[in-house]
Chain A
Amino acid sequence: MIEARGLTKRYGAKVAVDDLSFDVRPGIVTGFLGPNGSGKSTTMRLVMGLDAPDAGQVTVNGRLYRDLPWPLREVGALLEAKAIHPGRSARAHLTMLAQASSIPARRVDEVIELVGLSAVARQRAGKFSLGMGQRLGIAAALLGDPGVLLFDEPVNGLDPDGIRWIRNMLRSLAAEGRTVFVSSHLMSEMALTADYVVVIGKGRLIASTAVGDLTAGSSRRYVRVRSPQLAELRAALERDGASTDLGDDGVLSVHGLDEVAIGEIAAAIPVVLHELAPQSASLEEAFMDLTGDSVEYRGDPAMAGPTRGALR
């Protein structure tokens, strides 16, 4: 269980995380979604006690990270790929983490086996590909057999096999009753993995909801209608409050009325319908709807320069 309350983090004048509150519950995969630069990695560093919040707090299993008696046995994290000394072997990297947490040496071999790095465990990690680095990071996260797991963009740099492997692993870790918190900037990835999503943009909470509810609530939901008497039907629908778009292909997109209401209006006129098809937005579209206003345009000089000057 991870509980964030009013979490705020500034770097200089920039607010990276802004009054963020959310819960990550055990037994499910919770996706952490937001565009690049929206504060996901910062939030994860705050959870891990690596950065200190300017306001608010975040607890793991009811405690601040720094107060955990056996941090690696309680929380495992993959924060960045290849955060390892290039001259050190995978085995030595995991061994030094195990020793710091009094984890028996045989567990090191277990996790190496688990992530499929046995053949290269004694080689210098500097030669590892990004995908091998990710696997090593996952081995480190699983080392203490923790009940809470954080993964920051775990599928980055992995091939399709690796992506499927991660997806299955996340789901089985959650099925065992663990708390699994996974960040991604790809909604499509989360649609396949997560049960619940926390969506942020510009460091602020946008939504915290079950994945199914996210698409149902989207403004992108509409109904496709085709009819030989389209003009007549369209006028009737707009009288009843719908907004409509007529495509070049002769398909009318109707927003604001569902397929039941449209069918009844058509029957009452009456007009013939050739198609009446409700369209739910894809998860990706729902995500774009939610975060459209909050995409960070990094490096925009109009944002940084004059603003700072005006404050003086």
Chain B
Amino acid sequence: MIRTRGLCVVHPGGPRLAFADVTVAQGGRLLLRGASGSGKSTWLALAAGLLTPAAGDLVVADQALDQLAPPARDAWRARCIGFLPQRLHLSDALTVADNLALAYFAAGQAVDRDAIQRTLTALGLRDVAARRPSQLSGGQAQRVALARALLRRPLVILADEPTASLDDGAAAQALALLQDSSRDCGATLVIATHDARVMQALPQAQVLALPVAPGREPVGRRA
């Protein structure tokens, strides 16, 4: 479950940005809608525990984030959050399989090769496990990034503009995959987007409309 109450962030010497309250049940869908600079990334950072709000309560995956010290928050993020960034940030120094293994390294846990194999197979990536990310097509690379987010069966999946650079067919495929995958692990799916195609693909999803930004994007205290 995700629940926000009176959430707001303040940029040092800048405008105050308040977010509307929202409650999403575990396994639900939430769309963050808004133009560039409207605070979508800020909201995602708050939800991932990377940013501490200036005011308000934030519960993500049934955890009140203000009750976690930074080290505990890192561990919580490793356990509960799957993140699909807009730019995929796959490391070309490592194979596809080892890019996934990074998730275990980050969490400080032993690498579960079976889980990696299972996840890659489920996303149709078994044959590219030994390749470098630069050798993959755009669609394959995005699926690798999604596999990395899903690997540890997170409670919340945060996707940042997952359809931004895709044509209609690929965008539909990516959205279907995101929905199927999050349903499989019972995760709450949050998609930040300004793409109308996403709205059409997820008609039942809750929507949090973000206001047009007053200039600069506000930034709170870093976690």
Q: Are these two chains actual partners, yes or no?
A: no
Q: List chain B positions with a Cβ less than 8 A from chain A.
A: none
